[in-house]
A and B are shown apart, each in its own frame.
Chain A
Amino acid sequence: MKDINIVIEICGSAGEGTISAGEILSRFMSSQGFEIMSFDSYPAEIRGFGKCVAHTRISANPIYSPGKLSDVLIALNDKHSISQLFALKENGILIYDSQPARPHKEDESVVGWAKPGMISYGIPLNMLAHKAAGNARGMNMVALGALAALFHVDKLAFTDSIKARYSKKKQIVIDSNVNSFLEGYDWAKKNIKKIDHHSLKGISLGRAKEKLIINGNQLVAQAALDANLSFYAGYPITPATKIMEILSKELPKHGGTLLQTEDEISAIGAVIGAGFGGKRAMTATSGPGFALMTEFTGLSVMAEVPAVIINSQRGGPSTGIPTKTEQSDFNSAVSGGTGDCPRIVLAPTDTKSCYEATVLALYLAEKYQTLVVLLLDFFLSNSIRNIDIPQKPSAEMLDANIAPDKEDLKDYQRYKITETGISPRAVPGTKGGMFFSTGLEHDEYGRPNYDDANHLKMTQKRYKKFNTVLLEAPAPEISVKDKETFDIGVISWGSSAGAAHEAAMTAQKEGINASSFSTMMVSPFPEKDLIEFADKCKKILIPELNFSGQFANFVTHILKRPVERLNFITGRPMASEDILQKMREM
Chain B
Amino acid sequence: MEPIESAYLDEKLETVKDIDFLQYRSTDLPTWCPGCGYFGIVDAFYRACRELDLKHENIVTVSGIGCSGRTPIFINSYGFHTLHGRSIPVASGLKLAREDLTVFAVAGDGDALGIGGGHLPHVARKNINITFLLFDNSIYGLTKGQSSSTTPYEMRTNSHPAGNPDTPLNPIKLALSYGASFVARGYAGDPQGLKELIKEATLHQGFSFIQILTPCVTFDKENRTWKALKENVYDLNLHIEEKNMETAMRMAEHEPYGVGIFFQDRDRLHYQEILRNLNAASA
Contact = CB atoms under 8 A, between A and B. Distances in A.
Contacts of B283: 253
7 contacts: A265-B86, A266-B88, A270-B96, A271-B93, A428-B58, A434-B57, A436-B79
A257 B83 CA distance: 23
B83 A299 contact: yes
Interface string A421-453: 000000011111111111110011101100000
A257 B91 CA distance: 15
A273 B94 contact: yes
Counting from the closest, the 6 A-B pairs by CB-CB distance are A269-B89, A273-B93, A270-B93, A274-B97, A273-B94, A277-B98
Given A273-B94, A303-B82, 17 more contacts: A257-B272, A259-B93, A262-B119, A269-B83, A273-B62, A273-B96, A274-B96, A276-B80, A276-B94, A278-B98, A428-B60, A429-B101, A431-B57, A434-B76, A436-B26, A436-B78, A448-B73
Contacts of A440: 81
A447 B83 contact: no
A274 B73 contact: no
A269 B73 contact: no
B101 A277 contact: yes
Given A434-B56, A437-B80, A443-B1, A272 B100 contact: no
B143 interface: no
A259 B90 contact: no
A277 B97 contact: yes
A281 B57 contact: no
B239 to A, nearest CB: 30
A40 to B, nearest CB: 29
Contacts of B93: 231, 233, 259, 269-275, 277, 281
A266 B80 contact: no
A295 B84 CA distance: 10
B77 interface: yes
Contacts of B95: 273
B193 interface: no
B89 A257 contact: no
Interface in A273-315: 273-279, 281, 295-296, 299, 303
B178 to A, nearest CB: 11
A241 B28 CA distance: 45
Interface in B86-116: 86, 88-98, 100-101
A260 B38 CA distance: 34
Contact of A295 (B72, B78, B83, B101): B83
B112 to A, nearest CB: 14
A443 B163 CA distance: 41
Given A233-B93, A274-B96, A269 B86 contact: yes
A179 interface: no
Given A273-B90, A277-B101, A411 B3 contact: yes
Contacts of B40: none
Given A257-B275, A262-B121, A299 B82 contact: yes
Nearest to B62: A273
B79 A437 contact: yes
A568 B58 CA distance: 53
Contacts of A454: 1
A269 B116 CA distance: 12
A279 B60 CA distance: 15
A263 interface: yes
Contacts of A436: 26, 72-73, 78-81
Interface residues of A, number: 50
A433 B59 CA distance: 12
B79 A262 contact: no
Contacts of A429: 57-58, 98, 100-101
A65 B196 CA distance: 66
Interface of B: 1, 3-4, 26, 28, 56-58, 60, 62, 72-73, 76-83, 86, 88-98, 100-101, 118-119, 121-122, 272, 275, 279, 283
B103 to A, nearest CB: 9
A259 B86 contact: no
A431 B83 CA distance: 27
A434 B275 contact: no
Interface of A: 230-231, 233, 252-253, 257, 259, 261-263, 265-279, 281, 295-296, 299, 303, 411, 428-440, 443-445, 447-448, 454
B133 to A, nearest CB: 17
A454 B121 CA distance: 40
A428 B101 contact: yes
B1 A444 contact: yes
B108 to A, nearest CB: 16
A276 B4 contact: no
Nearest to A435: B78
Nearest to B271: A259
A279 B101 CA distance: 13
Contacts of B73: 436, 438, 447-448
Contacts of A439: 81-83
B100 A259 contact: no
B94 A277 contact: yes
B97 A433 contact: no
A253 B95 CA distance: 19
A270 B83 contact: no
A430 B83 CA distance: 25
B227 to A, nearest CB: 32
Nearest to A454: B1
B28 A447 contact: yes
A447 B60 CA distance: 16
A443 B28 CA distance: 13
B119 A266 contact: yes
- Interface centre among A279, A432, A437, A438, by most chain B C-beta atoms within 10 angstroms, is A438
- Interface centre among B4, B28, B100, B119, by most chain A C-beta atoms within 10 angstroms, is B119
B128 to A, nearest CB: 9
A231 B78 CA distance: 20
Contacts of B122: 261-262, 266
- Interface centre among B56, B73, B88, B98, by most chain A C-beta atoms within 10 angstroms, is B98
A279 B26 CA distance: 26
A448 B79 CA distance: 13
A259 B60 contact: no
A273 B58 contact: no
Contact of B91 (A261, A273, A281, A432): A273
A269 B96 CA distance: 12
Contacts of B72: 436
Nearest to B28: A447
A512 B92 CA distance: 58
Contacts of A448: 73
B57 A433 contact: yes
Nearest to B61: A436
